[in-house]
Chain A
């Protein structure tokens, strides 16, 4: 069974390590109060887990790709929003302004693919400010990372749900 050892520094293992760590952190502070947590608690945990998944994936990629940087900055801004509500409108305005400035340049040569390119830009984080060429690169890397994420999370969920 141990014959298929993966590269310990691969994306998958990096992500798994970080994600599991985050999971334990999320799950740790809950005392065994009730056998079935309330939906509200579940929802809160769901959100935290989702953020942890995205964050650990973005950290595993470091800053090599635009989407990872965009995700990390988005997460940081959001956490800052939560903590300091007063800073929220300002940061969102500035980021929007920056994005609008940079987005108009590289999008001239899309050919007839404007609609799809726009949709792709919405899906891939940080995609608004890229031209089609780089956007496709980022999409490829993003798909690869998403696939890894789904695989690992599915496995963990299967493990934990074997009761």
Chain B
């Protein structure tokens, strides 16, 4: 029978095929079979059997409640009607679950799962990322879509089976009753979202309320916000429109910065064959002023001391009192000079008192 169709494709149950099967099942009024299936214990969660089970419960709720599916159920009802008649009548008459405890248990178990899974995972209340069932991720989509679609459909008042879900739905209706505001204002409803498997996000006017697209939209907005920040950071990026081009620009910028670091390190390797200077004196003296655009100011004092080259060479060891200097200064003066200069400039800011002597020390040794 058609049940084989349901259990036939055991291996790969993903959403589309599941939905088809469920639709087929529903339309063929297999409530009896379903009930029998569902009253069976949970089994292994990863199997397609439970996949099939977990799906129909929420799907069934949705299908039953939405008026379209009611017609769907009602329409083929007279045709095959091999199924138990009382359930058919129930279906057609009221939008209630015709079931028995089997499905109720299963649904309750689902909400338990959902609740457990969500307590840990519901820190991001802005995006509907519900829970971790132990089933595959694909099942979450139909589960997620269930509350969303019931939002748009008529609210179900008497729903004994999915008690938790009806509570949530009422909350959502209350929340939804007010005018549609922006998504982030759904925070108050997200207070009880910790216990509930669904994150209530209010959709903007004219936008799809499908929870999947809500998640997508939240994500896209986050990404767009960050792209804006990056655009400000990268020069010349604010004029460009279009995410891909902006990203290209960002990539170019990062590459150029990395290359600059490489070139500069090569320059540093080549340029300063020997720099010794006592860092303590450098850093205690002028902790901040080293790092500024003051550097450009440093260049200038370096220019004019050329006058006093010869006279002041001997003064270096004393005035700078850098220990590291002692050895090199002793031996080779001409080489000394070339690397004393940077230290002079680095220290030039500390003793602003003896600026005269310092300036004389900042000789550029063009000897």
Task: List residues of chain A with CB under 8 Å of any chain B CB.
Answer: 1-2, 4-8, 12-13, 16-17, 20-21, 23-24, 27-28, 30, 32, 35-37, 42-43, 45-46, 48-50, 53-54, 109, 111-113, 116-117, 119-120, 123-124, 132-133, 136-137, 139-140, 142-144, 146-147, 149-150, 152-163
Contacts and interface: CB of A to CB of B under 8 A. Distances in A.
Given A50-B262, A155-B295, A136 B226 contact: yes
Interface in B207-232: 216, 219-220, 222-223, 226-227, 229-230
Interface residues on B, range: 35 or more
A157 B335 contact: no
Tell me the dominant secondary structure on chain B's binding face.
helix
Given A8-B288, A142-B254, A150-B261, 11 more contacts: A1-B349, A2-B286, A4-B292, A13-B290, A20-B282, A23-B275, A53-B261, A136-B229, A140-B230, A150-B264, A153-B268
A6 B288 contact: yes
24 contacts: A2-B289, A6-B292, A7-B288, A13-B288, A27-B273, A28-B276, A32-B328, A42-B269, A113-B243, A117-B247, A119-B251, A120-B247, A120-B250, A132-B223, A136-B223, A137-B226, A139-B250, A143-B253, A157-B267, A157-B271, A161-B267, A162-B342, A163-B364, A163-B365
A13 B341 CA distance: 22
Contacts, number: 182
Tell me the dominant secondary structure on chain A's binding face.
helix
Contacts of A144: 233
A123 B282 contact: no
Contacts of B349: 1-2
Contacts of A139: 230, 250, 254
A4 B162 CA distance: 66
Interface in B341-366: 341-342, 345-346, 349, 352, 364-365
B75 to A, nearest CB: 38
B298 A159 contact: yes
